[in-house]
């Protein structure tokens, strides 16, 4: 009888929750490398922004003044620096949203500036062509019809693609590795 009482106590005692190891609370916390705190500091962001701006002012060549290899490699390096800097700001959850918005708009502005500077487009001729109102006189119906086609394509894509996305998403979700499933 003593054995059966001991077995019963052992059985019910084993079912009680036991405290885990003392470091279990810290086991699943995200650990960052030591340099991570330095990269997030405002002083680091200001210095690296100054480096990116200095690169744009002093290293980027004038269009047509350098060979293609130097031109494309410096533009690629500049894009890499700009994307790394903006990614550093945008990926930080502690940064204010207004700063992230400003960085996003600045990134768009930098990309537009690069396109304007290095695309080789003849901007004067484009302005003359698109805003030549005497030439457009009597031909506004072409622009109106083009706008109608554009709006029709937008309406079709909005009314056809949006309802289709829900069943497609429901179909592919069970096969996703990110969905927890019972074993």
Query: How do residues 155-182 score in pLDDT, each as one tens digit?
Result: 988 887 777 766 665 555 555 555 555 5
Length of the chain: 183
Question: What is the pTM for the complete model shown?
Answer: 0.58
Q: Which residue has the higher pLDDT, 36 or 41?
A: 41
Contacts by residues 122-125 (CB-CB < 8 Å, ≥ 24 positions apart) = none
Task: Please state the rounded mean pLDDT for residues 118-127.
Answer: 80
Query: Cα–Cα distances in Å, from 142 out to 114, 132, 182?
Result: 32, 15, 60
> Which of 38-47, 66-75, 134-143 has the weakest average pLDDT?
134-143
Task: Please state the rounded mean pLDDT for residues 90-109.
Answer: 92
Distance, in Å, from the CA atom of 77 to the CA atom of 79, rounded to the nearest integer, reads 5
């Amino acid at each position: 009888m003593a054995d059966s009482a001991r077995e019963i106590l052992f059985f019910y005692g084993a079912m009680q929750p036991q405290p885990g190891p003392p470091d279990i609370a810290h086991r699943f916390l995200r650990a960052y490398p030591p340099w991570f705190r330095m990269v997030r500091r405002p002083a680091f962001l200001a210095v690296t922004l100054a480096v990116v701006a200095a690169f744009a002012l002093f290293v980027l060549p004038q269009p047509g003044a350098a060979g293609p290899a130097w031109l494309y490699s410096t533009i690629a390096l500049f894009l890499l620096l700009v994307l790394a800097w903006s990614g550093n700001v945008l990926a930080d959850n502690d940064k204010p949203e207004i700063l992230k918005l400003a960085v996003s708009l600045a990134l768009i502005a930098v990309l537009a500036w690069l396109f304007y500077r290095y695309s080789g487009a003849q901007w004067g001729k484009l302005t003359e062509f698109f805003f030549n109102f005497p030439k457009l006189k009597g031909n506004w119906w072409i622009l109106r019809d083009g706008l109608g086609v554009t709006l029709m394509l937008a309406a079709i894509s909005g009314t056809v693609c949006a309802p289709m996305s829900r069943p497609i998403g429901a179909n592919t979700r069970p096969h996703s590795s990110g969905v927890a499933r019972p074993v």
